[in-house]
Structure 1
Amino acid sequence: MRSPLVTVTMSVVLVSLIGWLLVSGRSLLLPFVIALVVWYLINALSRGFQWIPFGRWHLPAWIAFPLALATIFGAATFILDIVTVNLTQLAQDAPTYQKRLEEIFQQFSELVRLNDPVELKDLMPDSIVPRMVTAGAGFVTTLASSASLVFIYVLFLLLEQSTFDRKLERLFTNSDKARAAFALRAEVNRSVMHYFGIKSAVSIATGLLTSLILTLVGLPYAALFGFIAFILNYIPTIGSLIGVIFPALLALVYYDNLLPFFLISTGLGLMQFSIGNLVEPRLMGSSLNLSGLVIMLSLAFWGAIWGVVGMVLCVPLTVVIVIICSKFRASRPIAVLLSANGDIGEELSPELYGGDGSGPATSPRG
């Protein structure tokens, strides 16, 4: 029997090693992780197309799958083109908006009669607007440059997915262990599918409504801000707040009066509040079973490791960790701490994963 101190030490070393590998291998892992998400969405959309009834007839898989593939890549190309055009135009106009923002600070200082006028550089770094636009353009450029690698990964995943079940089954020594592994995979798939399905629908609605509100008010780059709202809605808590701040700040420097600023801030704020606090919780339910504090810590952790992609994926990654940890006796305390209410379901039978708490167990080959 190993002492608890040795077990804890080995666990800390293992977690540290995994964290180091995630950070060091970021350039290699991120395209593959994005490819996994795209591959997952293609299969989910394909199944969704097959569920749509046309009278008594449903789309067969050989039609639904290519349709889903064309839909995903067509939408990605279309959105990327729109975002690129809007960012290019915004980059050209950024110095003008920077100057206008400095004028607003000057007017505010004169209005409240400050002896030492507040300047933009006192609160933010110099050239903050051009820097933000440049950072956004750099993100899109990085995304586009890795698109070819992501496409290759997705292609190989699609070509080999028919062999995944057979490979997984042959990893185990008997049929009971294989069934347990398939059941675990099904539970992970169900939870992640539930999250991504609802979150994607809500994010699309958020992006479209953001674009609609900004178009009605007459603010430029409505499509760009709609895309930003769509992406940021995947980021828990802070994403919706940032999605309101960006267009509100542009309205502040674009118009000569404050009415459009208040209209955009109020309209987007109410829309984000209604969707985030009324619609989404009712659709999502309590199926994720994650503590709010854990979500925030996960957001900080994965954001520090993988940036925006990590922040977008922090919830499904944490859900997968909770489900897997809940199935094994040694790791169940971790799942309890990460969960919202401590209800993490039943663990796997020790015989199925080769442990009964006293040492390794062997199973006859099936």
Structure 2
Amino acid sequence: MEIKLPKYFKWVVVLLGVILLIYILQMFKSILVPLAFSFLFALLLLPLNRDMEKWKIPRPLAIVSSIVLVVVILSLVVWFLSSQLMDLTTELDTITGNFETLISRVQDFLQEKFGIVPSNRTELITNSINGLQDVATNFLGSTISMTTGLLAALTIVPIYVFCLLYYRDHLERFLFKLVAKDKRSSLVHTLSNIQQVVQSYISGLMIVIVIVALLNSAGLLLLGVKYAIFFGVFASILTIIPYIGILIGSLLPALITLATTGHLIDAVLVIGVFMVVQFLEGNFITPYIVGSKVSINPFAAILALLVGGEIWGAAGMIMALPVIAMLKVIFDSYGPLEPIGFLLSDVDDVKPKKPKHKKKLQSFITEVWDGMFRSKNNKD
């Protein structure tokens, strides 16, 4: 006998389920974060492995080769950033000295033009220098921590990726056993869409990072900024966090340029370079390269970033867009959740198309006009 539950009770159960899911995600963060990144890397490397298997390369050797390629590329990027950062830290004394001179000049200007005398100039300068040193120290510590975490992940993530790729057929059969036979074709279609969305996003994002790094570095080199390539690459990597990543990456070079040159206009020009690159990336580069496969409206994307950052921190912000894109595919394929998929869609993708009768009317008017024109020429 079927038991019908009130709708409010169903919504309460759903809400409790969401709260339990968030609690589990936070509780088992150390296990789930590497597994989530492994899943993304596995989807990214899947086409390459399939091509290598078509070339009669054994599956284990194909998987190991693709993983080694990714590890080598990531290691080179980490080595470059670390070496540039260590060179930058050697100039902290010079930067702090320039910053002290800059503060003195600002205080002299305010006192001369407006008669503003600081209560304790020495204390202000000391606090400002200490604040700059604290920022640099925290930035260096967080970078070293991320590098250490990356090195630790290099031991467990490749194992996860290998297992996911090697046992992918077994996992696919497992999913088939979870659903009825008449729904397996829908499951295959959904899994294929999820794979295409994730692959399109990750591969497109890597191309965008390279292009943005070149544009950032070129702009900073034209301005004569020290460590221009490091700042350009660093800011481009932060585009992994959509909308706000490249803006965060512009603050550090702007502050260091201000402390180095002592001219506010130089810092403004540095921020201007990043703003121009941000405009090009958001309106031309990313839409052209990534395309409309990851069609999430900006409001849903920003909300996903905030939720992901609250649950998993920086890793959650990186995972936010791929996860919400996969959820949208699932929502679109399941009838009761299709309105949520519509809510997540970009507005341009759900706009009603222009009715075809307008095109037919225009073609009819054109044909009539051409006929009248031809008949007039025949009479003449």
Tell me which interval the TM-score lies in, with the shorter structure as reference length. 0.7 to 0.9
Structure 2 unmatched runs, 5+: 351-380
Equivalent residue letter for 2:30: S
Deviations 1:190-218 (A, max 9, x none): 22222222222111211233234444545
Please identify, of 164-173 and 225-234, the stretch whose mean Cα deviation from structure 2 is larger: 164-173
Query: Of the candidates 110, 113, 120, which is equivalent to residue 112 of structure 1?
Result: 110
CA–CA separation in structure 2 for the residues paired with 1:236 and 1:124 = 32
Query: Of the candidates 135, 140, 143, which is equivalent to residue 136 of structure 1?
Result: 143
2:304 maps to 1:298: yes
**Number of positions where the alignment pairs a residue of Structure 1 with one of Structure 2:** 335
Q: Is the Cα–Cα contact under 8 Å of residues 64 and 162 in structure 2 kept in the other structure? A: no
Aligned to 2:256: 250
With the length of structure 2 as denominator, give the TM-score of the two structures: 0.77
In the TM superposition, residue 18 of structure 1 has moved relative to its aligned partner by 0.6
Q: Is the Cα–Cα contact under 8 Å of residues 336 and 342 in structure 1 kept in the other structure? A: no
Q: Is the Cα–Cα contact under 8 Å of residues 300 and 311 in structure 1 kept in the other structure? A: yes
Q: Is the Cα–Cα contact under 8 Å of residues 198 and 284 in structure 1 kept in the other structure? A: yes
CA–CA separation in structure 2 for the residues paired with 1:230 and 1:171 = 42
In the TM superposition, residue 247 of structure 1 has moved relative to its aligned partner by 1.7
Q: Is the Cα–Cα contact under 8 Å of residues 100 and 129 in structure 2 kept in the other structure? A: no
Aligned to 1:228: 234
CA–CA separation in structure 2 for the residues paired with 1:201 and 1:148 = 26
Equivalent residue letter for 1:60: W
Equivalent residue letter for 2:117: N
Aligned to 2:201: 195
Please show how residues 139-288 of structure 1 align to structure 2 within 5 Å. 139-174=146-181, 176-215=182-221, 217-257=223-263, 260-288=266-294
Aligned to 1:41: 44
Please identify, of 135-144 and 262-271, the stretch whose mean Cα deviation from structure 2 is larger: 262-271
In the TM superposition, residue 185 of structure 1 has moved relative to its aligned partner by 0.7
Please identify, of 187-196 and 12-21, the stretch whose mean Cα deviation from structure 2 is larger: 187-196
CA–CA separation in structure 1 for the residues paired with 2:49 and 2:210 = 18
In the TM superposition, residue 270 of structure 1 has moved relative to its aligned partner by 1.8
Query: 1:343/1:241 Cα in 2 relative to 1: closer, same or farther (>3 Å)?
Result: closer
Aligned to 2:73: 75
CA–CA separation in structure 2 for the residues paired with 1:259 and 1:125 = 22
Equivalent residue letter for 1:304: E
Higher helix share goes to which structure? 2
2:329 maps to 1:326: no
Query: 1:33/1:343 Cα in 2 relative to 1: closer, same or farther (>3 Å)?
Result: same
Structure 1 unmatched runs, 5+: 51-58, 345-366
2:21 maps to 1:21: no
CA–CA separation in structure 2 for the residues paired with 1:264 and 1:342 = 33
Aligned to 2:55: 60
In the TM superposition, residue 112 of structure 1 has moved relative to its aligned partner by 2.9
Q: CA RMSD in A?
A: 3.1
Query: 1:259/1:46 Cα in 2 relative to 1: closer, same or farther (>3 Å)?
Result: farther
In the TM superposition, residue 9 of structure 1 has moved relative to its aligned partner by 0.8
Aligned to 1:7: 10
CA–CA separation in structure 1 for the residues paired with 2:47 and 2:76 = 21
**Secondary structure in 2 aligned to 1:146?**
helix
**Secondary structure in 1 aligned to 2:251?**
helix
Equivalent residue letter for 1:107: R
Equivalent residue letter for 2:287: P
CA–CA separation in structure 2 for the residues paired with 1:155 and 1:213 = 40
In the TM superposition, residue 120 of structure 1 has moved relative to its aligned partner by 8.6
Please identify, of 309-318 and 98-107, the stretch whose mean Cα deviation from structure 2 is larger: 98-107
Q: Is the Cα–Cα contact under 8 Å of residues 105 and 120 in structure 1 kept in the other structure? A: no
Please identify, of 227-236 and 102-111, the stretch whose mean Cα deviation from structure 2 is larger: 102-111
CA–CA separation in structure 2 for the residues paired with 1:296 and 1:124 = 34
CA–CA separation in structure 2 for the residues paired with 1:173 and 1:7 = 24
Aligned to 1:55: none
Equivalent residue letter for 2:276: L
CA–CA separation in structure 2 for the residues paired with 1:133 and 1:4 = 52
Q: Is the Cα–Cα contact under 8 Å of residues 43 and 195 in structure 2 kept in the other structure? A: no
CA–CA separation in structure 1 for the residues paired with 2:172 and 2:155 = 27
Aligned to 2:346: 340
How many percent of aligned residue pairs carry the same amino acid? Answer: 24
Query: 1:278/1:105 Cα in 2 relative to 1: closer, same or farther (>3 Å)?
Result: farther
Query: 1:148/1:123 Cα in 2 relative to 1: closer, same or farther (>3 Å)?
Result: same
Aligned to 2:99: 101
Query: 1:121/1:333 Cα in 2 relative to 1: closer, same or farther (>3 Å)?
Result: farther
Aligned to 1:308: 314
CA–CA separation in structure 2 for the residues paired with 1:104 and 1:75 = 40
In the TM superposition, residue 28 of structure 1 has moved relative to its aligned partner by 1.3
Aligned to 1:56: none
Decide which structure has the larger Cα Rg and report it.
Answer: 2
Aligned to 1:87: 85
Deviations 1:91-128 (A, max 9, x none): 44335434433442342233233333676957995722
Query: 1:9/1:106 Cα in 2 relative to 1: closer, same or farther (>3 Å)?
Result: farther
Q: Is the Cα–Cα contact under 8 Å of residues 82 and 223 in structure 1 kept in the other structure? A: no
**Secondary structure in 2 aligned to 1:112?**
helix
